[in-house]
Structure 1
Amino acid sequence: MQIPNFTLVPSPADAEGVLVLPILAGDTPQILAADDYGLTAERLAALDFTGKAGGTARILVANGEERAALLVGIGKERTLEALRRAAGSAARALKREAHVVIELSDATAEELEALALGFALGAHQLDIYKKADEERPEERSVALVSTEDAAQEALDRARILAEAVVFARDLGNTPPNELVPEEFARRSTDVTAELPIEVAVWDEAKLADEDCGGILGVGQGSANPPRLVHLSYAPEGAATHVALVGKGITFDTGGISIKPAGSMLGMKFDMSGAGSVLATIVAVAKLGLPVRVSGYCCLAENMPSADALKPDDVLRMRGGTTVEVTNTDAEGRLVLADGLVLASEAQPDVVIDIATLTGAQVVALGNRTTGLMGNNDEWRDRLVAAGQRTGEVVWPMPIPEEIAERLESPVADLVNAKPGDRSAGMLFAAAFLERFIGKDAEGEPIAWAHLDIAGPAENGGGAYGYTPKGATGVPVRTLVETIAALS
C-alpha cells in the first residue's frame, strides 16, 4: 500500500475528510484541538471515552456544520511516541477513508512528524497477495493542521522514514519462495538505482574468491545460491563512517539440525537484519545525512539436502578463523562472521550488526525489546538513546568473560554453539560475533554493537498503535536516528 499524501492546512475547514481529534487521558479527558467541538466532559463521559492510549470512537461533531470525527486516545502524556501510536491507531480505524484531517492544537514540527509517521506506519499492510478490498481507497490524503514554519520539512522527513520502514516490512513479509537471495540482491539494486549509493553483488564464485566460508557454508544446501550485497553511501566531507552488517537468511529450516515444523513458521522473517540495513541506507541517502554508511547484507537460504552443511563440519571464515559447526541451526552467526570481517577491513568508526539471531533474546526480553551487546559504552548509549526517541526500545546486555571459555573447540578456533546448554544463548552468540571484529589503526578493537531483534522484528499478535501484524521494520528508525545524531 502506498504512503498517504500528507499536506498542511491552516484550519480543519480547509480540507475535507474525517476529523481526527487526539484526547489526553486524565481525571477529566482533554481534547487537544483548538476548538472543543462541543466535546464537554459530560459528553465524553456519556461516550465512555477516557482518552486511554489507543482507544478510538467515531462520532459526529459540530463546528458551524456537522462533521464526522474520530476520537483517539493518547494516554496520560503528550509525548512523541504517544502521538505516533495514536495516529497509527487512527489510521487502522479509518482504513476505508480516503480523506483524513488531523488537528492537534499548537503542534510543533516534531509532533507533526510523529503524527504523520505514525499514521503512515499504521496504515501500511502487505495486501498484494489478497483479493482487492474494494472498499479501501487506492490513495489516501491526510491533512495536518499547522502554520508552523518547519512543518513541511518535518512531513518530508516523516515520509522518507515511513517509506524506509514500509520497504523493510515488505521485504520481511514477502513469501520465501519469492524472496530468495538473488531476488533480495535484485531489489537492492532497484531501490538504490536513483540514489548516491554504490551497490556490489557477490555471487557464489565471488564469495569463494573472497574466502567467505560462512555465507557459502550456510547456503550450500539450497538450490538458491547465497549472495552478499555490499552498499556504500559516501557523501563528500563525511567525518564519520558507520558500517552496518545484516543477517539475511531468506528462509531457515535449521538445515540438517532441522527445526520442528511449528518453529519453521515465520522463518521468512529471518532476513530482517539485512532488510533493515538496506532500508536504513536508503533513508540516510534520501535524507542527505553527511555520514558515510556502508552496508553488508549476508544472504543465504538454510536448507537440508545432500549438499547441506553438517554438524562436525569445519568452516574457514573470511580472515582465516575456523569454526566447528556443532549446530547448523546456529547459522546466522556464521554468515555474519564474514560480514563483520569485511566491515572491519574498511576501518569504520563503528560496526553495527543487526540480526534475528537467538530465541534466547525472546526469552530474556520478549517480543518488543531489542537486545544490545557490544564492546563500546559510547555507542551503546547512542543506540539506547535513539531507541528511546523513536519508541523502539533497546536494552543493553553484557558479554560475560566466562562465556569465552564455551567458545573453545578441540578441532577449530571456535564452535558456533553448545548443544544441550541453553544458558545465556543470546550472550554466547554475541561473544562469538565479537571474535570477528577487527582492530583499528592504533591496534584497538573497532567499536562494535550487536542488535538481536529476534522478537521485535515480527509482531505475531494483533496490530497495536502503528505496528501491524507481521514484519515491523525494527530497528530502521533507531538506526537512522543514531546516524542522524552524528551530523
Structure 2
Amino acid sequence: MDFSIKAFDWSKAGVPSLLAAKSDCVVIGIFEGQTLSGAGRQLDVLSKGLVARLIKSGDMTGKSGSTFLLHEVEGIGAARVLLVGLGKQDKFEAKSFTDATRAAWRALATTRAAQVTWLLAQTPVKGYGADWATRVTVTVARDLAYRFTETKSKPEPDERTLKKVTLVVDPADEKAAKVALRQAIAIANGSDLTRDLGNLPPNICTPTYLGHAAKKLAKEYKLKVEVLGQKQIEALKMGSFLSVAKGSSEPPQFIVLHYQGAAAKQAPVVLVGKGITFDTGGISLKPGAAMDEMKYDMCGAGSVLGTMSAVAEMGLKLNVVAVIPTCENMPAGNAVKPGDIVTSMSGQTIEVLNTDAEGRLILCDALTYAERFKPAAVVDVATLTGACIVALGHHNSGLFSKDDALADELLAAAKKAGDPAWRLPLDDEYQEQLKSNFADVANIGTPGAGSVTAACFLSRFTEAYPWAHLDIAGTAWKSGSAKGATGRPVPLLSQFLIDRAG
C-alpha cells in the first residue's frame, strides 16, 4: 500500500474541487447533527443536495463509526464516495477519530477500490494536529492489512485491491504530515516485524533464530550487533539467566544491538526485551490448555527488535541500545528446580520458588548488563505475569517505575500512539513479599499483587539508572479466532523515542 500527502484548501473560492479528480473512492467524514462544512459541504453542492437528503432520510446519521457507500455520484470524479460518521463534533477526540478511521478502512476492504483519496485527516481533533491524524490513518490501515502466511503451504489468496492512498491535509500542515507519514510507515514496518517473529512457531523462532533476525536487522540498517553464546554468557557470570536455559537443548543467546543516531558521548536509551521463545513453565509445568500460546513469551524481545527497526528507518537523532536475553524454559533432568538458589550477574542470590517465574530471572541479568552503557533511561518489555492480565485485562499494558518523569513520558507516548498503558504501584512495602530465608531474594512473592512483586524483583537490579518496566502479558497477542501477535508496544516505544529525539 503506497501512501502520499496532498495539500488542499477548501476555503479558497475559485479553486477546482479536489472532488472532481479521478480516483476509485473518496473518503469524507460527516458529523452527527451538524451543518455540513469543508469537503462534506462541497460534496453536497456538487451532488445537488444528495448528502443533505441522505441525512434527512436517516440513511446517513453521522453516528461514530457508521459508513455509507455511494456509487457514481453526479459531479464527483471518484467512482465511489465513502461517507464516514464522526459522531458529535463537540465530542470528537482521539478515540472518535481512530474509531472512524478503523471503520472506514474496513468498509474500503469490502470494495475493489485500488486508488483512494482520504479526506479524514483534515478533520480537527481536539489536542492533536494533522501529523497525528496522518500517523493514525497509516498505522490503522497497516494493522488491518497485516496477514501472516509464512508457514502455510497454500496461503489464502489476497483479494484486496487497494494500492494507492492520497491523504489530503491543509497546506499549513503539509510539511508536518510528510514527516508523520515517514514515521508511520517505519512504525508499521516495525510492528509487522514484531508480529512476524511472534507468530512464527517455536520450532522455527528459537533463540538462535532471534540472533539471526538481529544480525539481519543490523545488516539492513548498518547497526552494530553482538550475539553472545553460552560460553560468553558464562564468562559474564549471568547465573540467573543461564539457570533458565539449562533444561533446553536450544543454546541461549544474548543479543546486543546498537543504533547510533547522535554523538557517541550522548547517553543511550536502553530497551531490554524478554526473549523466552517457548515457556513450558519448566519443572513448575504449565497446564496443557493454550500452552501453544507460550510461543508468544518472546514478544518483549520481538517488540524491541521491531522498535529498533522503526528507529533506524526513521533515522532518529538519539542513541538506542537493545539488550535481549533469549532462551527456552523447558523441563529436563538438569533443569532448574524449585528450591534452587542461583547467583545473578549482580552478585545477588535468588531462591527459585517457581520455575515458571523465569522471565524475571533472565531480565535481571540483562538489566545489570545495561549498566555498562551509562544509560539515560532503561525500559524493559516483557510478557511477565498473568497477574497483569487479571489487573488490566487486554487493553492496557502495565507500567511500573519509581521515576515519575520517565513514567510520565511513557504514558504520554502511550496516549499519543493509541497504545495504552496504565501505571501500577511500586511501593517499597511490596518488597517484603519477596523475602527469602535462604537467599537475598525469592523469585516470587507471597500471594497478591503478582505483577507488582515481579516489578519489585526487577527494580532491585536497576538502581544505577532511571528505569521503567512494561508488562505486556495482556497486550502482546490475542487468543481465539483472532489469535496472533499484536505488535504492541512498538507504537508506544517508537513514540517515546520520537519524543526523546525531538
TM-score by length of 1: 0.89
Give the aligned residue type for 2:277. T
List per-residue Cα deviations over 1:282-330 (Å, max 9, x = no partner): 2122222221111111111111122322111122111211111111110
Q: Which residue of the other structure, out of 95, 103, 110, is the alignment partner of 2:119?
A: 103
List per-residue Cα deviations over 1:211-231 (Å, max 9, x = no partner): 122222112212222111101
Matches within 5 A, 1:68-147: 68-76=80-88, 77-95=91-109, 97=112, 98-104=114-120, 106=122, 108-130=130-152, 131-134=154-157, 136-137=159-160, 140-146=163-169
| Uncovered stretches (5+) of structure 1, i.e. residues with no partner | 440-445, 464-468
Q: Secondary structure at the match of 1:113?
A: helix
The verdict on how the C-alpha distance between 1:47 and 1:274 changes in structure 2, with shifts beyond 3 A counting, is farther
Instruction: Single out whichever of 57-66 and 319-328 deviates more from structure 2.
Output: 57-66
Q: Secondary structure at the match of 1:310?
A: coil
Matches within 5 A, 1:34-433: 34=40, 35-37=42-44, 38=49, 40-44=51-55, 46=57, 48-60=59-71, 62-65=73-76, 67-76=79-88, 77-95=91-109, 97=112, 98-104=114-120, 106=122, 108-130=130-152, 131-134=154-157, 136-137=159-160, 140-146=163-169, 148=171, 149-150=174-175, 151-237=177-263, 239-418=266-445, 421-433=446-458
Measure the CA separation in 2 of the matches of 1:236 and 1:363: 41
The verdict on how the C-alpha distance between 1:70 and 1:376 changes in structure 2, with shifts beyond 3 A counting, is same
Give the % identical residues: 38
Give the aligned residue type for 1:119. A
Instruction: Single out whichever of 152-161 and 323-332 deviates more from structure 2.
Output: 152-161
Instruction: Single out whichever of 150-159 and 41-50 deviates more from structure 2.
Output: 41-50
Measure the CA separation in 1 of the matches of 2:117 and 2:426: 49
- The match for 2:39 is 33
Cα contact 1:198–1:232 (8 A) shared by 2: yes
Q: Secondary structure at the match of 2:242?
A: helix
Give the aligned residue type for 1:399. L
Cα contact 1:392–1:474 (8 A) shared by 2: yes
Cα contact 2:121–2:167 (8 A) shared by 1: no
Q: Secondary structure at the match of 1:189?
A: helix
Cα contact 1:224–1:301 (8 A) shared by 2: yes
Give the aligned residue type for 2:188. A
Cα contact 2:400–2:426 (8 A) shared by 1: yes
Q: CA deviation at 1:88?
A: 3.4
List per-residue Cα deviations over 1:110-136 (Å, max 9, x = no partner): 322322222122222223344334352
Give the aligned residue type for 2:210. F
Measure the CA separation in 2 of the matches of 1:475 and 1:241: 19
Measure the CA separation in 2 of the matches of 1:16 and 1:475: 35
TM-score by length of 2: 0.86
Measure the CA separation in 2 of the matches of 1:271 and 1:29: 51
Q: Secondary structure at the match of 1:261?
A: coil
Aligned residues: 470
Report which of the two structures shows the higher radius of gyration computed on alpha carbons. 2
Cα contact 1:80–1:110 (8 A) shared by 2: no
**Which gives a bigger RCO, structure 1 or 2 (Cα 8 Å, sep 6+)?**
1
- The match for 1:442 is none
- The match for 1:7 is 4
| Uncovered stretches (5+) of structure 2, i.e. residues with no partner | 9-17, 124-129
Cα contact 1:31–1:39 (8 A) shared by 2: no
Give the aligned residue type for 2:328. E
Give the aligned residue type for 1:303. M
Measure the CA separation in 2 of the matches of 1:307 and 1:118: 46
The verdict on how the C-alpha distance between 1:342 and 1:30 changes in structure 2, with shifts beyond 3 A counting, is farther
Cα contact 1:459–1:472 (8 A) shared by 2: yes
Q: Secondary structure at the match of 1:286?
A: helix
Measure the CA separation in 2 of the matches of 1:254 and 1:32: 58
Give the aligned residue type for 1:33. A
Q: Secondary structure at the match of 1:179?
A: coil
List per-residue Cα deviations over 1:31-80 (Å, max 9, x = no partner): 87353355535414646444444444433251425722333344444445
List per-residue Cα deviations over 1:246-269 (Å, max 9, x = no partner): 111111111111111114142121
Q: What is the root-mean-square deviation in Å for CA atoms of aligned residues?
A: 2.5
Instruction: Single out whichever of 51-60 and 389-398 deviates more from structure 2.
Output: 51-60
List per-residue Cα deviations over 1:151-204 (Å, max 9, x = no partner): 333322211111111111221122222111111111111122131421110111
Measure the CA separation in 2 of the matches of 1:133 and 1:31: 43
Q: CA deviation at 1:336?
A: 0.5
- The match for 2:474 is 455
